Amino acid sequence: MKHYMEQLQEAALKNGPLCVGLDTDPSYLPAPLLQIFDTPADAVLAYNKEIIKRIAAEKTACCCKIQIAYYEALGIEGLKAYIETIRAVKEAGLIAISDIKRGDIADTAKAYARAHFEGDFATDIITINPYMGFDTLKPFTEYCKPAQTENAAGGKGIFVLLRTSNPGMVDIEQQELKAGGRVLDKTGAELARLSAAFKTLYPEQTCSPVGAVVGCTEESDARALRDAYPDLFFLIPGYGAQGGAARIAATLLDKAGGTVNSSRGILCAWKKSPALADRVESGNLCLKEIADAAAEAARAAKEDLLAAKKELGL
């Protein structure tokens, strides 16, 4: 049995490393389009489905990342759109990463794990914040183990925050410890330990079900982190709208590999087209046209990342 992280690794090699971020805010859609739907959540879901359909058909991405906050902000209707978006991603044959960044202790963490791996929000891989302590990871890693029964949830994956893409990461992640090394190095060592432990459960695995979030906004850490954790598959934010270069992202795609997220650069691609902007002004822009622009942006991002990999000889 292959866990979901290994399935994602295979998909990234086959279809390219792009992860399409469906962090879809209603403001990313033209105002006239929003008016034809009953709720903003309905418009978001319709846009998501159009994008998913195109990237799946064209094989321009290996997965989609759905950031739950954008859907929570829309209330109950938004959470319904979140559920349906995950379902659409999986039905399209893509891996679903739910960006929830949970991190809590004991029974609370167990409830979060159950909610996002078994319940209505069930997904393939989730993001985790480890900074309340490594005991917070255990309820989630239990779901990374092979399923014990036919209908049980198992083989899931987690991406643990290691080196994030925001400027404020220096406030905690880069802080030096009295025992030596940085906070992020301590976190990485724990992820490496977990990775080694999973080898007994998945002897043939080519990466661990425990992956790491490593941003591509700074070149200084990229090579060092990739070499330090060769068995960890990376979720790589920061590319595109956050200023991360394809070259840095490609460096992080070495060894066990990774998937590079692009959200606004794809979702808001229609805003960069003068022709489409004119259509917005006239009120004639349709959903298909902005989805076409998103699909084109996804194709361009995939080509950019693959060219950077080739340049580095990967």
Residue positions annotated with a catalytic role: 101
Nearest-angstrom CA–CA distance, 63 and 43: 21
Which residues are CB-contacts of 311 (< 8 A; sequence separation ≥ 6)?
247, 250
Asked whether 108 and 73 are in contact (CB, 8 A), the reply is: no
Whole-angstrom CA distances from 201 to 1, 48, 181, 195, 209 are 10, 36, 30, 10, 11
Answer left, alpha or beta for residue 238, where phi above 0 means left and psi between -120 and 50 means alpha. Answer: left
Report residue 115 as tokens: 């909610």
Query: How big is the CA angle at 14 (ends 13 and 16), to the nearest 5 degrees?
Result: 65
Nearest-angstrom CA–CA distance, 149 and 54: 35
